[in-house]
């Protein structure tokens, strides 16, 4: 079964899940949720509605905690079109919007009680980033852009911005020319994650590359309203889509042949780790990255193992390679 929302019956029922889902989205718009968040929840809640309708459940007051737990088990065994299971993040991404929707339904008196209030999410744990670039590796990636070509100059400005600011992919895509203040050395991130604005420092070098791109290349790419006032544009003069931006950055990382994989977020990981290694206060890095919780930023202190190793080598009392009085290293015979 497709579990598509289009299979739902009674879509005109004002007390049905489809109608109340639309009311929920109207409420989200009034509360100024981002269009991206609404679009994501439309997909995830719609998938649940399709699954529930296939089982004869069309109204929210028919949904119980055991039914939601059945759906959770379904997500655990679900296989994507390529045969892969949903990751833990994928499962959580399907369940969190449901919890928010049912919470709203209960608060709005559309249902008597919230069946998702005690629904436990899969435990994700704190996973360390798989790869982090060193400072020299980051420079190698950035230098792959051919600045003699207009699009290469644009790409250099994009890579420099990611490396200097550590902003998220969508935050960079949404930047407008006026958001970059070279004189103050800041960029204005509008409606970042959690729909929050913040100011982020940008280095002089990155700001200079952005300015050069804005003066020399962007005017050639502009296509009226199609460009929507965005700073970084595709060769067609349109704002980047998320997958386009990921592919662009990945191309340069792969071209550097560092044996490391990643895309836009690799620069975010790198910025946080290198700044902490160089002595930045973790709370400053938290504000820069736009993390709501300090624990989210603190994970990068665990990644800074290279700096910790240097300190260990320099300060630990057993730092000498001469462990024995005769100046030799222990060997297998010494263990007998």
CATH number at residue 15: 1.10.150.130
What share of the chain has pLDDT > 70, as a percent? 80
Specify the CATH number for the domain of residue 179: 1.10.443.10
Host domain of residue 38:
5-107
pLDDT at site 217: 96
* Structural domain contains residue 144: yes
167 and 292 belong to one structural domain: yes
* Structural domain contains residue 118: no
Gap between the Cα atoms of 130 and 262, Å rounded? 9
273 compared with 55, residue with greater pLDDT: 55
* Structural domain contains residue 64: yes
pLDDT at site 325: 43
Banded model confidence at residue 33, pLDDT cuts 50, 70, 90: confident
Query: Is residue 168 among the annotated active site residues?
Result: yes
75 compared with 335, residue with greater pLDDT: 75
Q: How many domains are contained in the chain? A: 2
pLDDT at site 270: 87
Banded model confidence at residue 32, pLDDT cuts 50, 70, 90: confident
Give the list of residues 6+ apart from residue 21 with CB closer than 8 angstroms, or none: 42, 45, 46, 49, 101
Average pLDDT for 307-334: 55
Gap between the Cα atoms of 141 and 65, Å rounded? 49
* Structural domain contains residue 121: no
pLDDT at site 192: 63
Query: Is residue 47 among the annotated active site residues?
Result: no
46 and 172 belong to one structural domain: no
The single residue of 188, 260, 265, 307 carrying the catalytic annotation is: 265
Question: Alpha carbon of 270 to those of 37, 80, 132, 165, 273: distances in Å?
Answer: 26, 31, 5, 11, 5
Instruction: Write out pLDDT tens, residues 124-166.
Output: 655 555 678 889 999 999 999 999 999 999 999 999 999 998 8
pLDDT at site 35: 83
160 and 83 belong to one structural domain: no
* Structural domain contains residue 326: no
What share of the chain has pLDDT > 90, as a percent? 49
163 and 290 belong to one structural domain: yes
The single residue of 47, 94, 268, 269 carrying the catalytic annotation is: 268
* Structural domain contains residue 321: no
The mean-pLDDT minimum among 79-88, 202-211, 225-234, 279-288 falls in: 279-288
188 and 62 belong to one structural domain: no
169 and 83 belong to one structural domain: no
Query: In this structure, what token pair is assigned to residue 2?
Result: 């497709």
Instruction: Write out pLDDT tens, residues 256-282.
Output: 999 898 888 888 888 888 887 777 777
pLDDT at site 322: 47
The mean-pLDDT minimum among 91-105, 111-125, 303-317 falls in: 303-317
Query: Is residue 265 among the annotated active site residues?
Result: yes
196 compared with 304, residue with greater pLDDT: 196
Domain boundary (107, 124, 155) is at 107
Question: In 69-153, which ranges are E strands?
Answer: none
Gap between the Cα atoms of 182 and 38, Å rounded? 33
146 and 83 belong to one structural domain: no
50 and 185 belong to one structural domain: no
Q: How many CB atoms lie within 10 A of CB 43?
A: 12
* Structural domain contains residue 247: yes
Average pLDDT for 174-203: 85
92 and 192 belong to one structural domain: no
The single residue of 94, 110, 168, 169 carrying the catalytic annotation is: 168
159 and 300 belong to one structural domain: yes
The single residue of 3, 42, 188, 193 carrying the catalytic annotation is: 193
11 compared with 279, residue with greater pLDDT: 279
139 and 285 belong to one structural domain: yes
Q: Average pLDDT, whole number, for the chain? A: 84
- Adjacent-strand bridge partners of 186: 181, 201
Asked if 97 and 37 count as a contact pair (C-beta separation under 8 A), the reply is no
Query: Is residue 213 among the annotated active site residues?
Result: no
The single residue of 24, 71, 252, 300 carrying the catalytic annotation is: 300
88 and 158 belong to one structural domain: no
Banded model confidence at residue 54, pLDDT cuts 50, 70, 90: very high
Query: Is residue 300 among the annotated active site residues?
Result: yes
* Structural domain contains residue 330: no
């Amino acid at each position: 079964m497709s579990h598509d929302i289009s299979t739902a019956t009674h879509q005109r029922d004002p007390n049905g899940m489809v109608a109340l889902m639309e009311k929920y989205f109207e409420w989200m718009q009034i509360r100024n949720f981002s269009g991206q968040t609404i679009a994501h929840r439309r997909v995830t809640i719609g998938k649940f509605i399709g699954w529930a309708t296939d089982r004869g459940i069309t109204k929210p007051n028919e949904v119980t905690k055991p039914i939601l737990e059945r759906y959770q088990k379904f997500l655990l065994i679900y296989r994507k079109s390529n045969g892969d299971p949903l990751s833990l993040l994928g499962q959580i991404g399907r369940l969190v919007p449901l919890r928010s929707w049912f919470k709203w339904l209960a608060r709005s008196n559309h249902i008597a009680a919230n069946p998702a209030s005690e629904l436990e999410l899969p435990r994700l744990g704190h996973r360390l980033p798989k790869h982090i670039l060193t400072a020299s590796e980051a420079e190698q990636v950035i230098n792959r852009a051919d600045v003699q070509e207009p699009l290469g100059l644009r790409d250099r400005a994009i890579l420099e911005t990611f490396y200097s600011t550590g902003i998220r992919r969508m935050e960079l895509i949404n930047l407008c020319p006026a958001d970059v203040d070279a004189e103050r050395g800041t960029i204005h991130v509008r409606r970042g994650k959690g729909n929050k604005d913040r100011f982020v420092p940008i280095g002089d070098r990155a700001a200079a590359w952005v300015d050069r791109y804005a003066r020399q290349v962007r005017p050639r790419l502009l296509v009226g309203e199609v460009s929507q006032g965005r700073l970084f544009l595709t060769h067609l003069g349109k704002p980047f889509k998320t997958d386009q931006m990921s592919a662009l950055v990945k191309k340069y990382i792969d071209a550097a042949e560092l044996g490391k994989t990643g895309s836009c977020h690799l620069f975010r990981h790198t910025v946080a780790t290198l700044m902490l290694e160089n002595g930045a206060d973790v709370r400053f890095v938290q504000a820069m990255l736009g993390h709501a919780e300090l624990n989210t930023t603190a994970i990068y202190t665990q990644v800074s193992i290279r700096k910790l190793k240097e300190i260990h080598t320099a300060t630990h009392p057993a730092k000498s390679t001469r462990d024995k009085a005769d100046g030799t290293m222990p060997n297998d015979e010494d263990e007998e």
